[in-house]
Chain A
Amino acid sequence: MDGIISWFDYISGRPDEILADTWDHAKITLTVVIAATIFSVLLGVYAQRRPTVRALSLSITGIFLTIPSLALFAIFIPIVGIGNTPAMLALFLYALLPILRNTVTGLDSVPPAVVESAKGMGMSTMSQLFQIRIPLAWPIIMAGIRISSLITVGIAAIAVLVGGDGLGTYIQSGLTRLGLPNSLESVWTGVVFTVVLGLVLDLVWATFQRVTTTKGQRM
């Protein structure tokens, strides 16, 4: 109980600082997820009907996700130096697979008959894609985006080890001062705000999904 009270003291003592770091963390995550979404959806649309590209892109992005985060962060340091850049590059690679995979499976799940009738109505390939296939696959693509966003928020806490910003700074400063006053409060701040940020962003994506889903698709 004392712990909780002193934690509240800790965060109420420095709300601006914590919000600023949360915002940094959110910026990293959003940049990465938006970039990964653009890349993966384009690649997914391109790869869906090309078996070789599809198999290759899915297994390569799968391999990225297997490589431990600190290792992937570290590999970029000789190339781009320390800071947020190596972390964001690595996070971008992690965020690809969920979106790519769901784009491909989402497009797969569009009933061929619907596409046929669109074609019969004289729609061009592009309008079929934008008016029929992507809108129908959208809920599945969005599910992938939300998974990517959750994963990215969690892993971005490690960015501090390679000189990045974000909520990981609270965890690290807690570790370096462990045993001293406020050290655990600092770690808890990092953990709790990271999870909360993940949930908030998920809510943002859910709202975005509601707004962008076509009427007939809404439950």
Chain B
Amino acid sequence: MTAATGAQGRIGYEGQDADNPELQEGHRPATGGPSHEASWLRRARANHLGLKLAPVGIALLALVVYLYYQSLGLNDAVIQLRSSLEWGTKLWPQTLQHLQIAFWSTLLVVVVAIPLGIMLTRPPLRRYGPAIVAVANSGQALPAYGLLILFLSLLGQGKWTVIWALTLYALLPVLRNTMVGLDGVDRNIIEAGRGMGLTRMQALTKIELPLAVPVILAGVRVAMILNIGMATLAFLIGGGGLGVTINSGLKLQQDPVLIIGAALVAIVALTFDWIGALAETYLRPKGV
């Protein structure tokens, strides 16, 4: 284990648990959970019970929101309420915009951060690793709100400004996890691979990356959730998204609009977090 992970400890994952991995900042001892864990819980974990229950919970939440939406009696409602909550012209297109923003920014993050993380863990740049991980950690205090406005002044209004700003914002967790994941790979395994005649490149693609996949995926999931969350602020610079509805609710003082907007964002975020958890569980290489 190298210096980059020394300060943080190694990020370890219990895999199946659906908690947000961003906070598993190292320090997790590799005990694999408490030994006094109840047997039903262990069985539930083995069966991915959380993963199976999550969609039921999300569907229930969606049902509640739908019933609430129906109960508002929009046809007779005041114009502020009716027009901000129209499904076909407001809510649905905003949801799509929201997803587009989150999708492109997450994709860009992956394309930029993972190669960058690989580069920064190679010998010539390796010694800067700890410093970069430290910067990435304190970058959590960066206000996305301010970042959006600064990008607005550089790139003008619109969806792509939001996407670039979010790419920069969500870059840090993926970069950090890529570096920590690669550094966490046991040096001896790499040595063994090299001894068997693998080139550096092969050692990277056949040993280091597969072993680091769980940690990298966790970072990508965090980035995706951050992006969905921060896409809510896209309305500030004319990027659309569901934040428009929340903002209408705030400005027009219509609580139902506020609630529906916030609930839809929450449903979107929870759904994608669940998809991320699925990906983490099923995309990890066998044996890891």
Which residues of A are interface residues toward B (Cβ below 8 A)?
A: 48-49, 51-52, 55, 58-59, 62-63, 65-72, 74-75, 77-78, 97-98, 101-102, 105-106, 108-109, 140, 143-144, 147, 150-151, 153-155, 157-158, 161-162, 167-168, 171, 174-175, 178, 184, 187-188, 190-191, 194-195, 197-199, 202
5 additional contacts, CB 8 Å, given A63-B270, A198-B138? A51-B36, A66-B266, A75-B262, A77-B255, A157-B146
In this assembly, does B236 line the interface, its C-beta being within 8 Å of a C-beta of chain A? Answer: yes
- The one of A67, A144, A151 in contact with B140, judged by C-beta atoms closer than 8 angstroms, is A151
| B104 CB, min distance to chain A CBs, angstroms | 17
B18 at the interface (CB under 8 A from A): yes
Measured between alpha carbons, how far is A191 from B90 in the docked complex, in Å?
32
**Pairs A–B under 8 Å by Cβ, sample size 20:** A51-B41, A58-B17, A59-B19, A67-B265, A68-B232, A69-B232, A70-B246, A71-B262, A72-B262, A75-B259, A78-B255, A97-B19, A143-B26, A144-B25, A147-B23, A151-B141, A161-B145, A162-B250, A175-B237, A194-B142
State in angstroms the CA–CA spacing of A119 and B229 once bound together: 47
**Is B29 in contact with A105, judged by CB distance below 8 angstroms?**
yes
Chain A minimum-CB-distance residue to B25: A147
Question: Could you tell me which B residues sit within 8 Å of A by CB distance?
Answer: 17-20, 22-29, 31, 33-34, 36-38, 41, 44, 50, 137-138, 140-147, 149-150, 152-153, 225, 228-233, 236-237, 243, 246-247, 249-250, 255, 258-259, 261-263, 265-266, 269-270, 273
**Residue among A58, A178, A191 with the highest chain B CB neighbour number at 10 A:** A191
Contact status A67-B269, CB under 8 Å: yes
